[in-house]
Amino acid sequence: SVPDFDNLPAVEGHPQGCSWGVFDKDGKKDHYGTLNFLTPEIVAAAAKEVCDGISISLNWPLNGIKFPFPHRKAPVHKPISLREAGMEIDGFDDELEINTQFSSQWDSLCHFVLPSGETYNGFKPSVELLQTTSTEGNDLPTLDHWHSPAKGCLVARGVLIDFKRYVDETTDKTYDALDGHRITVEDIEAVAKHQGLEIKAGDVLIVRTGYTEFLENPTPEGFAKMATMSLSGVHGTKETAKWFWNKRIAAVASDAHAFEALPPLKEDGEVGAVSDLVLHKWFLTYFGLPIGELWDLKALGEYAKQKGKYSFLLTSVPLNHPGLVASPPNAVALF
Ligand code: UVW
């Protein structure tokens, strides 16, 4: 059993709530963080969610963003004729060059680092280390570890908090993911109650804001709003982080840009910079809790609403390349 946030053992130089060392086993440093909550019992119970024989993809197209995006280049897809490539056969291959953060993604525990250069469990990723480990194997908590025989990728009970539908149906407003609304823990609990959903230990908690749906049909007014980077997401505070740890949430995902609302707020409530992303720091770095972003949640929301059931079996198989910091999730919800 893992201690609550306030009772986690102190880690020198880091705040109360830092989980480093808690999941280490047999003198080996842990690479999985909160995926350790996914015990065989939890996974077997999650499989019981499947009753309807329906599977829903949660992967937005890799080229979902249709406009130039700062710092992250769009995918380049190159179909190749086998005969033109010199093979004695008619047919095709293709090549795909992607930034793994451009569309639906997992942020691994190496995505965000503290000013000390440390990430989860005191690992210190660097471009050089990530690059050399691509060929020589690695000891960083990157996504390829999810493919180890000990892990078998991610299989869990997924739970959807359909915040957009909740606001649309219970207020006279149409929820706008571009209004910078900060979804609090109280909001999450209210939506869960409204949906008749119980959140359990080991769940992957998924929040729908409607952001990717806007990106599919962007309007000039929406673009103007987007320029301010005031985007809806979960309210990034230490108290929010504490709630997720104490619920033993195994991972989180959303259709939002950064899972947490932008711009981030500093501990004193002042507007901060991207480096102040509070939940990135607590989840990825202090807890080892993976964050999914830009997932496609429209069809999931519609099916869950139709069935009145917001829990399902979730499977996710990231790309298996050594040293991978992020990856398309290849995520599927099964009812
Ligand atoms: C942001 O771009 C703000 O978040 P991430 O790097 O996690 O995508």
DSSP codes, 51-99: -S--EEE----TT---S--TTSPPPEEEEEETTTTT-SS--EEEEEE--
Looking at ligand 1, which atom is closest to the CA of residue 107? Answer: 7
Is residue 45 one of the residues assigned to a domain? Answer: yes
40 in a structural domain: yes
Q: What are phi and psi of 247, to 5 degrees?
A: -80, -5
Q: Give which of 256, 260, 254 is closest to 236, Cα–Cα.
A: 260
Q: Residue 287: give the domain boundaries.
A: 5-62+100-334
Determine, yes or no, domain membership for 77. Answer: no
Q: Which is more confidently placed, 1 or 77?
A: 77
pLDDT at 201: 98
User: Is 67 among the domain residues?
Assistant: no
Asked whether residue 259 is domain-assigned, the answer is yes
Least confident of 122-136, 256-270, 286-300, 315-329: 122-136
Give the chain's domain count: 1
CATH at residue 22: 3.50.30.50
Whether 278 is in a domain gets the answer yes
Q: Is the CB of 260 under 6 A from ligand 1?
A: no
Contact 119, 109 (CB under 8 A): yes
CB 195 within 8 A of CB 187: no
Note the pLDDT tens digit of each residue in 90-123: 999 999 999 999 999 999 999 999 999 999 999 9
Reduced to 3 states (helix: H, G, I; strand: E, B; else coil), residue 100 is coil
Q: Is 229 in the pocket of ligand 1 (CB under 6 A)?
A: no
Residue 87 domain-assigned? no
Residue 159 lies in a domain: yes
Residue nearest to atom 7 of ligand 1 (CA): 258
Q: Model confidence over 146-180: pLDDT tens digits?
A: 999 989 999 999 999 999 999 999 999 999 999 99
Q: What angle do CA 257, 281, 12 make, to 5 degrees?
A: 175
β-pair partners for 334: 55, 313
